[in-house]
Amino acid sequence: MSILCPIVAVGAVVWRGPEQLLLVRRGQPPRSGEWSIPGGRVEIGETLHAALIRELREETGLTVSVGRLIDVVDFVDRTEDGSPSAHFVLIDFSTRWAAGEPCASSDVSECGWFAPQEALARIAWEETRRIIRLSAQQVWQLQL
C-alpha cells in the first residue's frame, strides 16, 4: 500500500469589480474539463501569496492583488472502489484584477470573465460555489 500525503494548493476568486469574476476550465485532473477558480500547487519554499500570484500568471497571464483568506477546503479524489487517490488542501483567497487580459495556458484550456450568477451556474462543485459566495460577501458585501 502506498502512502498518500496531502498536496497544498492555492485558489483565487479574481474580481474585476463586483460585476465580473474569472473562471478557468481545468485542463488537467482532478476535475478536468470543469469550470473553476484558478490556482494550483504550492512549491517548496514558496509562500501562499507568491504561489497564488505565480499560478495566476502561468494559467491566465493576469496580475492580481491578493486580499483576504476566504477559507480552506479539502478535496479528496477517490478511485472507483472509494479509496483515496489524491488529497488536496485548497487555501482560497479573494483577489482583485490589477492588469492583463485572460489568456488560457499552463493547466487550463479556457478562461474568461463572467457575471457572478453566470459563473455560479457553470461550476459543478458546490464547495467552489460556496467559496465564491463567501468572497462576494467579503469583498463587495454581495449576497449571491
- List active site positions: 110
Q: Helix, strand, coil proportions of the chain in percent (round to 5)?
A: 25, 40, 35
Question: Strands 63-78 and 39-41: what pairing?
Answer: unpaired
Closest CA to 22 of 74, 92, 90, 95: 95
Q: Which cell numbers hold the place of 70?
A: 476566504
Distance of alpha carbon 118 from alpha carbon 35, whole angstroms: 11
Answer for the pair 22, 112: CB distance below 8 angstroms, yes or no: yes
